[in-house]
Chain A
Amino acid sequence: MLKKLLSGLLALSLTIAPHSVLNSSAKIENAGAVLPSAFGYEPQDEDERGLWLQMDEFEKKLKHSKLLVKDPKLNAYIQRVLCKTVGQERCASTRVYIMRTPYFNASMAPNGMMMVWSGLLLRVRNEAELASVLGHEFGHFENQHSLQSFRDIRAKTDAMAWFSLVPVVGSLAQFSLMGSLFKFNRQMEREADMIALNYMSSNGYDPKAAATIWEQLRGEMDATAKGRKQKSRKDMNGGFFATHPNSKERMEYLKDAAGDKGNAGFRDGAAEYRAALKKWWPRLIDDQIKLNDFGATEFLLEQLASNGWTSDLLFARGELYRARGRSNDFEKAIGFYRKAAAKRDAAPECWRGLGLALMRSGAVDEGKAALRKYLKRKPDADDRAMIGVMARASK
């Protein structure tokens, strides 16, 4: 039973599990009701108090997780985008935690704890796209979808059994488990999407960005499938997608609803987003490259390079091709490393990659010369001893 449960949940986590949708009937305010986003809100009844208590415990442990990205500037930035999206007063009721996990996901707990995975930050391209995800998660929180789900589940099963499944430490499986406990039905997903769209357009973010995310994710799924010679899962239904609108449907109704919002000088905040993430790109891309998903990584790099190939991006592309190592890959990698190395801000690792790719392609002496350049630029490199031996000129 547990095996089956975990199987479903893990599968869920590895599917694209973002949330972002809308419905024209959704409302931001529940007339007369006190919303959890209101200042000083307290859980209203036994069910809600129980949920909050569990989530508060979880959050305490989460604060000590090694997976947390603690960079204060990045955290402040993400929180700022949430606040710009939903308004200063409302956002004070939430805490955002960035997790170093290389998949696209975000989740929201009923006590205002939001988790954003680093893979999501790699995939969204501007503030408006980020706002659509944050706004969507906030919509689940504000409309108390998890409480509704809990009551629904509890009506069918034993509450203690439910609580025993609440995660106590933050593992990937457990995050997914939480996602499943707070699994929202299609109606809720649409509602949260609509809330996000309303917030975005009210606060100046381009609501078209919500559909764009789905377009990109569908493209990425195609790219993964192509790279692995599999059938794309972008139009899969059933399983995870049984309770979620499928990505095509979601993309289409988001596009329609965004069209209704007009085009009143919305911004997308692409430059601000790039600046805020600049320091993190190399690490996030490196995490992605090491997932051994050539198609998706190439797709993401091309997306990131839509404003031009920087040295970091060219280097990453070289690393990607060198890691795959098929017949022409080393020649291509060499080209990318050379271009990366020619840029003014090139990292020393460009010469490392170039040297190793040259050696793999048979140009051993040239490769050794590049490795020596790497060591000259980075004499304290972690791999200096090994590279030093490999770089010695042939006698």
Chain B
Amino acid sequence: MTALRFFGTVIVAVLAFGLLSPPASATWKVIDGGKKADVAKEKMSVTPKQDWNRSSQRPSPYGELWTLDGFSLNELSFFAAIPSGKAIYYNYQTKNRPLPKFKSKMLLTDLAELFESTNRIVLQTSLFDVSSVEPTKLAGHDAVRFQYEYAVQGDELKRNGEAVAAIINGKLYLVNFVAPAIHYFDRDIVKVRALIDTIEIAN
């Protein structure tokens, strides 16, 4: 349990609770740099400059996970068209630790609060702080960009994250990047921001 990463933690927690059999080892697909790729069940498309790796593990029915070097070093997640009344991630612990749900009437600042609460519950940590909440655009729509940092119990490496979220036609769209604060976040965040700028959202 030393190299827990963002969803790795979810998976470890889920396994620990015995609610899910260990996934058959995840399969990977290379996303070619320079080409447009569909993400999150074709609800979004993105044109990365570099090659990325897409995992077959999904954080929710609405999301997918990419990485450059492995989830413990950099993790990019896309969520598209999460409907009102649904949580951001799979809600494995509905009885003991239910996740808060997205609502279509939420304000942009509410999205950062929803994200924080969700991740505190999933990661089981109180060391999770959101900072610099600012306006931005996602595929031309009004959006919020927020940065955060956290440490998880048992893996106290500080991680930084940055996410962009928007409500489009009453549904939540979210792109989230997380990496260790040491070296990796700063190394990759510029690539991620450039990638987010290429996002197109299907009508």
Contact = CB atoms under 8 A, between A and B. Distances in A.
Interface of A: 3-4, 6-7, 10-11, 14, 64-67, 100-102, 118, 169-175, 228, 230, 287, 290-292, 323, 325, 356, 359-360, 382-383, 385-387, 389-390
A131 B105 CA distance: 46
Interface in B94-135: 95-100, 103, 105-110, 112-113, 116-117, 120-121, 124-127, 130-135
* Chain A interface mostly: helix
A104 to B, nearest CB: 14
B133 A290 contact: no
Interface string B63-100: 00000000000000000000000000000000111111
Given A172-B124, A387-B109, A7 B153 contact: no
Nearest to A367: B107
Contacts of B18: 3-4, 6-7
8 contacts: A10-B13, A14-B96, A66-B151, A66-B156, A169-B156, A171-B154, A360-B105, A385-B134
Contact of B156 (A67, A173, A325, A389): A67
Given A171-B1, A172-B124, A228-B98, A3 B15 contact: yes
B132 A385 contact: yes
A291 B133 contact: no
A382 B130 contact: yes
Nearest to B98: A292
* Chain B interface mostly: mixed
Contacts of B113: 323
Contacts of A292: 97-100, 117, 121
Nearest to A9: B16
Given A323-B100, A390-B109, A66 B16 contact: no
Nearest to B150: A66
B2 interface: yes
B119 to A, nearest CB: 9
B144 interface: yes
B95 A383 contact: no
B144 A386 contact: yes
B127 A66 contact: yes
Interface in B1-54: 1-2, 13, 15-18
Given A101-B153, A360-B105, A383-B132, 4 more contacts: A7-B18, A170-B153, A383-B133, A383-B146
Nearest to A385: B134
B17 A7 contact: yes
B158 interface: yes
Contacts of A64: 156
Contacts of A228: 95, 98
- Name the 6 nearest CB pairs between A and B, nearest first: A171-B154, A383-B133, A385-B134, A7-B18, A6-B16, A287-B126
A172 B154 contact: yes
A360 B153 contact: no
Contacts of A323: 100, 113, 117
A10 B99 CA distance: 18
Contacts of B186: none
B155 interface: yes
Given A6-B16, A169-B154, A171-B154, A382 B131 contact: yes
B166 to A, nearest CB: 12
Contact of B127 (A4, A100, A174): A100
A101 B126 contact: yes
